[in-house]
Chains A and B, each alone.
Chain A
Amino acid sequence: MKPSKFRYTAPSMVAEALDFLNEYGSDAKILAGGQSLVPMLNLRLARPKILVDINRVEELSFIRVEGDTLVIGALTRHAELEKSEIVKQNCPLLSEAAALIGSRAVRTRGTIGGSLAHCDPAAELPCVLHALGAEALVVSKQGERTISMDEFFITYFTTALRPDELIREIRVPVFTKRMGHAITEVWRRYGDFALVNVAAWIKTDSDEKVVGAGIALGGVGGSPHKAKAADLLVGKRPDEKAIKETAEAVADEISPESDNIASSDYRRHLAKVLTRRALTLAAARIRG
Chain B
Amino acid sequence: MVDTGACYESKRIRVTVNGVTYERDVDVRLLLSDFIRQELGLTGTHVGCEEGVCGACSVILDGKLVRSCLMFAVQADGCQITTVEGIAQGPDNLHPIQEALIENHGVQCGFCTPGVVVSMYSFLKENPEPSEEEIREALAGNICRCTGYAGIVRAVKSASRKAR
What is the interface of chain A, defined by CB distance below 8 A to chain B? 1-11, 16, 19-20, 22-23, 34-35, 38-39, 41-43, 50-51, 53, 55, 79, 102-106, 108-109, 189-191
Cβ of B51 and Cβ of A42 under 8 Å apart?
Answer: yes
Task: Find chain A residues with CB under 8 A from B70 CB.
Answer: 34-35, 38-39, 109
Cβ of A190 and Cβ of B137 under 8 Å apart?
Answer: yes
Q: Return B82 CB to nearest CB of chain A, in Å.
A: 13
Cβ of B51 and Cβ of A43 under 8 Å apart?
Answer: yes
Task: Find chain B residues with CB under 8 A from A39 CB.
Answer: 50-52, 70
Chain B residues 110-129 with CB under 8 Å of chain A are 119, 122-123
Give the docked Cα–Cα distance between A91 and B49 (Å).
35
Tell me whether A105 and B65 are in contact in the complex, defined as CB-CB below 8 angstroms, given that A34-B70, A35-B52 are known contacts: yes
Give the docked Cα–Cα distance between A225 and B9 (Å).
41
Task: Find chain A residues with CB under 8 A from B34 CB.
Answer: 1-2
Point out the residue from A1, A11, A53, A105 that lies within 8 Å of B30, measured CB to CB. A1
Cβ of B58 and Cβ of A7 under 8 Å apart?
Answer: no
Tell me whether A38 and B141 are in contact in the complex, defined as CB-CB below 8 angstroms, given that A1-B30, A5-B9, A108-B64 are known contacts: no
Point out the residue from B11, B50, B75, B141 that lies within 8 Å of A103, measured CB to CB. B141
Q: Besides A39-B50, A104-B65, A108-B66, 15 other CB < 8 A contacts?
A: A2-B31, A2-B34, A5-B9, A8-B11, A8-B72, A10-B75, A34-B70, A53-B75, A55-B75, A106-B52, A108-B65, A109-B66, A190-B137, A190-B140, A191-B141
Cβ of A8 and Cβ of B140 under 8 Å apart?
Answer: no
B29 at the A/B interface (Cβ < 8 Å)?
yes
Give the docked Cα–Cα distance between A41 and B27 (Å).
15
Tell me whether A8 and B7 are in contact in the complex, defined as CB-CB below 8 angstroms, given that A34-B71, A109-B71 are known contacts: yes
B74 at the A/B interface (Cβ < 8 Å)?
yes
Task: Find chain A residues with CB under 8 A from B30 CB.
Answer: 1
Give the docked Cα–Cα distance between A103 and B140 (Å).
7
Give the docked Cα–Cα distance between A191 and B55 (Å).
12
Q: Across the two chains, which residue of chain A brings its CB closest to B6?
A: A9
Cβ of B2 and Cβ of A38 under 8 Å apart?
Answer: no
In the assembled complex, 26 residue pairs joining A and B whose CB atoms fall closer than 8 Å, in A order, are A1-B27, A1-B29, A2-B31, A2-B34, A8-B74, A9-B6, A9-B7, A11-B6, A20-B2, A23-B1, A34-B71, A35-B70, A38-B52, A38-B70, A38-B71, A42-B69, A50-B7, A53-B75, A104-B119, A104-B123, A106-B141, A108-B64, A108-B65, A109-B70, A189-B140, A190-B137
Q: Do most interface residues of chain A lie in helix, strand or loop, or is the interface mixed? A: mixed
- Give the number of A-B contacts (CB < 8 Å): 100
Give the docked Cα–Cα distance between A79 and B127 (Å).
14
Cβ of B66 and Cβ of A105 under 8 Å apart?
Answer: yes
Give the docked Cα–Cα distance between A198 and B3 (Å).
45
Cβ of B51 and Cβ of A20 under 8 Å apart?
Answer: no
Cβ of A103 and Cβ of B55 under 8 Å apart?
Answer: yes
Chain B residues 70-129 with CB under 8 Å of chain A are 70-72, 74-75, 119, 122-123
Q: Return A56 CB to nearest CB of chain B, in Å.
A: 9
Cβ of A8 and Cβ of B31 under 8 Å apart?
Answer: no
Q: Return A2 CB to nearest CB of chain B, in Å.
A: 6
Task: Find chain A residues with CB under 8 A from B27 CB.
Answer: 1
Cβ of A6 and Cβ of B141 under 8 Å apart?
Answer: no
Q: Looking at B9, B27, B67, which has the most chain A CB atoms within 10 Å of its CB? A: B67
Q: Looking at B2, B9, B50, which has the most chain A CB atoms within 10 Å of its CB? A: B2
Task: Find chain A residues with CB under 8 A from B75 CB.
Answer: 10, 53, 55
Give the docked Cα–Cα distance between A38 and B69 (Å).
8
Tell me whether A2 and B65 are in contact in the complex, defined as CB-CB below 8 angstroms, given that A8-B28, A39-B70 are known contacts: no
Task: Find chain B residues with CB under 8 A from A55 CB.
Answer: 75
B15 at the A/B interface (Cβ < 8 Å)?
no
Cβ of A106 and Cβ of B67 under 8 Å apart?
Answer: yes
Q: Across the two chains, which residue of chain B brings its CB closest to A56?
A: B75
Give the docked Cα–Cα distance between A41 and B28 (Å).
13
Give the docked Cα–Cα distance between A190 and B55 (Å).
13
Give the docked Cα–Cα distance between A189 and B31 (Å).
26
Task: Find chain A residues with CB under 8 A from B1 CB.
Answer: 23
Tell me whether A8 and B8 are in contact in the complex, defined as CB-CB below 8 angstroms, given that A104-B119, A109-B66 are known contacts: yes
Give the docked Cα–Cα distance between A50 and B64 (Å).
27
